[in-house]
């Protein structure tokens, strides 16, 4: 059985988590700027500096605690990038594109981490960077997949909810968007009752299996590393 100490766990998760959150939020701001809204840029949020996007509770404390709880579904959040829809030529459609940018960035990062893991597997076992790179690759594949799948849930204020709002006809979009003030409460309820994991885990598992193939890893080997990284 593979064993990983606490220092290795922290080292494996730190960079992938910071990048997953930072690039996700920056992607929202970058697409918003491309579509005409410079609010995020003017407020200094169009940056890869993680300290500009980190929410101490949502980005560090909550996911950290859930990582230490066996069988827990990881959940967290960052400070949302400010977007002013009034600056868009097509507000409804453009807001959907801005929302979609976050999950797409997580998918691209998950693939990049899979390629990192593949590179690590090609190194000599004696190479001191091989194992740390492999651990970070697995952690990066996992956290980005979960963030992508979670954010695509069609529930405002998640990205999937905003994408669906942009796709629905006007009157229906308005009614659907009125769920947003209660969206976080609904999400917590789904998490606590276990429904969130039941709904999202099959999709996440499918994506992770495909990423493991990209990394050149057998499913049971990937799972062994992931279990070691998540067990304290």
Delimit the domains of the chain by residue range: 6-230
Per-residue confidence (pLDDT) for residue 221, from 0 to 100: 93
Chain centroid to CA 132: 21
Establish whether 25 is a catalytic residue.
yes
Which of 135, 160, 134, 137 shows the shortest CA–CA distance to 147? 160
pLDDT of the chain, 232 residues: tens digit per residue? 678 888 888 889 989 988 998 999 999 999 999 999 999 989 888 888 887 887 777 767 766 666 665 555 566 667 888 899 899 999 999 999 999 999 999 999 999 999 999 999 999 988 999 999 999 999 999 999 999 999 999 998 899 999 999 999 988 988 998 998 898 889 888 888 888 889 999 999 999 999 999 999 999 999 999 988 887 5
The one catalytic residue in 25, 41, 126, 180 is: 25
Taking the C-alpha atoms of residue 155 and residue 42, their distance in angstroms, rounded to an integer, is 29
Taking the C-alpha atoms of residue 98 and residue 94, their distance in angstroms, rounded to an integer, is 6
DSSP string, 120-147: HHTS-TT-TTHHHHHHHHHHHHHHHHHH
Per-residue confidence (pLDDT) for residue 31, from 0 to 100: 97
Per-residue confidence (pLDDT) for residue 120, from 0 to 100: 96
Per-residue confidence (pLDDT) for residue 74, from 0 to 100: 61
Q: Which two tokens stand for residue 19?
A: 């990048």
Whether residue 120 contacts residue 131, with contact meaning beta carbons closer than 8 Å, is answered with: yes
Which of 8, 161, 28 shows the shortest CA–CA distance to 106? 28
Taking the C-alpha atoms of residue 146 and residue 180, their distance in angstroms, rounded to an integer, is 21
Q: Which two tokens stand for residue 169?
A: 């006809």
């Amino acid at each position: 059985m593979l064993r990983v100490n606490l220092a290795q766990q922290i080292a494996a998760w730190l960079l992938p988590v910071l990048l997953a959150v930072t690039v996700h939020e920056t992607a929202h701001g970058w697409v918003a700027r491309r579509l005409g809204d410079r609010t995020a840029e003017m407020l200094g949020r169009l940056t890869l500096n993680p300290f500009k996007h980190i929410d101490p509770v949502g980005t560090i404390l909550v996911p950290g605690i859930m990582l230490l709880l066996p069988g827990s579904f990881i959940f967290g959040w960052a400070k949302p990038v400010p977007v002013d829809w009034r600056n868009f030529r097509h507000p409804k459609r453009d807001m959907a594109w801005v929302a979609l940018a976050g999950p797409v960035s997580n998918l691209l990062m998950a693939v990049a981490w899979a390629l990192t893991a593949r590179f690590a597997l090609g190194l000599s076992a004696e190479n001191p960077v091989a194992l740390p790179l492999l651990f970070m690759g697995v952690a990066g594949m996992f956290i980005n997949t979960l963030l992508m799948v979670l954010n695509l849930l069609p529930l405002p204020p998640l990205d999937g909810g905003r994408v669906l709002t942009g796709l629905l006809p006007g009157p229906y979009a308005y009614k659907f968007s009125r769920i947003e003030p209660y969206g976080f409460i609904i999400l917590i309820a789904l998490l606590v009752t276990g429904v969130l994991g039941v709904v999202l885990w099959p999709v996440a598992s499918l994506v992770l299996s495909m990423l493991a193939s990209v990394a050149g890893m057998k499913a049971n080997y990937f799972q062994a590393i992931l279990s070691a990284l998540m067990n304290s």
